[in-house]
Amino acid sequence: MEKTAFFDVRSYDRPWFDELAPGAGLELMYLENRLGPDTAILARDCAAVCAFVNDDLGAETLRRLSEYGVRAVALRCAGYNNVDLAAAEQCGIRVFRVPSYSPASVAEHALALLLTLTRQTHRAFTRTRERNFSLEGLVGTNIEGKSVGVVGTGRVGLRFAAMVRGLGARVLAYDPDPQWGAGFEYVRLDELICRSDVISLHCPLTPRTYHMLSRAAFHQMRDGVVLINTSRGALIDSEALLDNVKSGKVGAAGLDVYEEEADVFYEDVSSKVMRDDTLNLLLSQPNVLVTSHQAFLTREALRAIAEVTTDNLRRFFAGEPVENEIGSFEPAGV
């Protein structure tokens, strides 16, 4: 069996990988450490590593992995903005991903964030637990009849668009590669930003999409706009978001991701001093709901991730083509 170092492992990852790895001929070495230049040595004598969204797969990490004998990186996620693909190619390290695991899981979480914020159920939950049954300050708003802008119409974006259409919303969409015939209107990004009551992001993080929602973009938005982000944190300029939440320009924001999340998300930091002032202030706002990058966290998605990841590795070790391989030639996306 070829050995794979499985970095940043959590208790919820293991059951499915434990079940599937033996049948794929894999020996997994589970590590709680995140992958980076200083921890790459833990993969010494392993043929592959399995990494997640906040692992550091920059040039230095990849160089060290190559020196330790690693020949492949299996990402157990769809995004790969944390991988230096050119450096991987130079080091002779092949990179695989899970392009789709459960679009419904992520789309449903985005919808949950939206409905929670528009009906203020998060605030109601806190109140009633303290025996406060007042309705003052809990007036919500309907999704029906609103214009919902969907940025990125891949598998997740299409599923989310179908969900909000089912609630009676008008859908505006932006994607460089439109899915014509999907039943909604495609517009330019600047037009979507201007016309939408709700903006939901479903696109990859690339140099082109970094801070897609910039200060200039916030200036163009409707007053009281609701923002939802279940993709990557750096799609939004967080300081600009905070300023526009404080000014009232942004009526509510649901964030499953944050651009400086790496040292916070997936960890219990409740007894530590939070040094990120922007995140601290966002968390303090009653109309901002932050979840810790958990949109993928369903039984169905976790099993699908394990199935695709183990199959990617099985095919690699067997010398077979791997459909989910990525390289420095990958297109930029949205």
Q: Are 229 and 237 in contact (CB under 8 A)?
A: no
293 is catalytic: yes
Q: Which of 232, 267, 303, 307 is catalytic?
A: 232
Q: Which of 293, 307, 325, 330 is catalytic?
A: 293
Q: Which of 109, 202, 261, 314 is catalytic?
A: 261
19 is catalytic: no
* CA 229 to chain CA centroid, nearest Å: 8
Q: Are 223 and 260 in contact (CB under 8 A)?
A: no
Q: Which two tokens stand for residue 277?
A: 């002032």
Question: How many CA atoms, within 13 angstroms, populate the side-chain half-sphere of residue 300?
Answer: 9
Residue (of 326, 314, 306, 327) closest to 12 by Cα position: 306
Exposure b/e, 240-263, CB count within 10 A at least 16 = b: bbbbbbeeebbbbbbbbbbbebbe
Q: Are 78 and 55 in contact (CB under 8 A)?
A: no
109 is catalytic: no
Beta strands across the sheet bearing 225-229: 185-186, 170-174, 147-151, 198-201, 225-229, 250-255, 288-290
Q: Which residues are tagged catalytic? A: 232, 261, 293
